Structure 1
């Protein structure tokens, strides 16, 4: 079985991981933050490839198939519930999309610090309830056909159960990912969105406007 287009939650009761129903890599403009990358991941049901309950002699909910089955599937996203994401370009540090080939994105590194607000995390996660995730490392490598191979790791705290320690980890591997474009900020005009993009990128001429977003030309 291939390890691509799957996510693995280490030491959970499904060592072969979980297939992905949806994965979107996009960007958006924000009048206060600049140009941001967004990632949105949805799994198929946890039990899609194994609906047995043959491991119920376990020492924690994390290892119980019954518990996982109660929550059905995972959503890991910077857009589903809030406006998170990773800042890629600002007026002071412009983003050069033409040079984006092999990159590693890091956000919300541990330790978070005593004054950190969980509401400010780049990504939210629904896992076993609405939990929390941080310490993200997202590696993107461009293929000759301009798709990307993506490897994404991070840490999880079961905050839905009141446990704020990031003691669990995940790894996702996704192949042949196409960039979905740069979405407008809702409520701003086309001209206002373009102005933000121009302020935050090295060469805004490589973008064209289509369906409330900017597409990348020759990419």
Structure 2
């Protein structure tokens, strides 16, 4: 599955070459994960060497993480630019650039064990999980379960600001839904900078 995009996947990227590499998570080894997005941030993370780096959605995300204390810089350009997360970790449910930005079932299945294992490795210190977008929300439920989390019997529908209590052993953890800062969402006003900041401020308050 470690490959670049197909069908013009690289079109519109800001400089550089598309790398056929899987994009790993970013952040401390023992964090409360700040967020989870769908696809490595697609081709951009595969090209720049860092998740959510190299496109406008990443610009929005890192700016919000910086404003809310989860990142040391407002921007993320490439893997060696000095950016780092503070008390947080980013995970990707699909780690390579999917064709037409739509991961195939076999691609999701190929990446799933890595997602589940990464969640499991940091579970002892996690207090909040923010799922960016509906796909991330859906992907998180089986991954949390297989990583040893206790989940409610019914799965609430995804929505911005939706909070669901889950548990890891005796620790209480909160799963929060957040609209994805895609260009479609930010251009139409469905997602604003304040909306992102509110989610991450809420996550910080819960994690205290």
TM-score above 0.5 = no
TM-score (norm 2): 0.23
Q: Flag the structure with larger Rg.
A: 1
Relative to its length, the structure with more strand (as a share) is: 1
Structure with a larger share of its residues in helix? 2
